[in-house]
Amino acid sequence: MPYNTIIYAEDEGIAIITLNRPQAMNALNNELLDELESLLKTIERNDKLRVVIITGQEKFFSAGADIKEIKKFKSPLEAHYFLTKVQRVINFLEIIPTPVIAAIAGLALGGGCEIALACDLRIAAENAIFGQTEINIGVIPGAGGTQRLPRIIGLTKAKELLFTGGTIKADEALQIGLLNKVVPVKDLMDEVKKMALKIIEKPPLAVKFTKMALTDGLQMNLSQALAYEGRCFEFLFSTEDRIEGVNAFIEKRKPQFRGK
């Protein structure tokens, strides 16, 4: 399927999504959101795709929501319709069973930062800049910025960024736990693919259940989450990959996982 606002490729079990509205610094509009949602649903149904990478261009990951489109909203109801779509798409990044890695260069502001927050792992180029800057135009983040940001970096620093609408560079983002790694711009995709390939080496069902236990468990109290984790653990004893993993460990050889 051809896309107008994204570029899609597959490589060794990796789905690579590139936001592609360079004339608008990859701002999120209705067309991009529709295309991204459709693509993510297609990826979810393809068991051969084991990791998703979402990225942008060298100078911008995404500058956030399309202000020109938002300016046309005349009522809270119109804002609601748009925000519901943004939330649905960004939430899907978080709940899709396939691990998602954000490869971030340049600006990741507003909704662009919220996309990154919903990903499982975040690797950034040295030129990356992060911020929830919505307050500067009289609104607040609406797609996870007030909720995921403090859960990832802590409440105190999150409040500073949200109240001031300020930005931080990649090195500070790494220090506060927003990022997994910072690399030179030229090495960004190579480093992200290295991380993806490490994940692909692991048993697919165990990876998916690990993500489920993390994502769903964090919405439960500890007792419920521990019980849920236990059920996930128990289920994996029905898989061929669990048998293969144990046998390979005992036989001191590399396991051959098949996703069964």
Q: Which residues are catalytic?
A: 114, 134
Residue 102 is encoded by which pair of tokens?
């954000």
Q: What region, left, alpha or beta, does residue 202 occupy, with left being phi > 0 and alpha being psi -120 to 50 degrees?
A: beta
Residue 236 is encoded by which pair of tokens?
């994996």
Residue 232 is encoded by which pair of tokens?
């996930």
Contact (CB, 8 A) for 170 and 129: yes
Residue 253 is encoded by which pair of tokens?
């050889």
| Tokens 């996309």 belong to residue | 115
CA atoms of 220 and 226, how far apart (whole Å):
9
Contact (CB, 8 A) for 196 and 51: yes
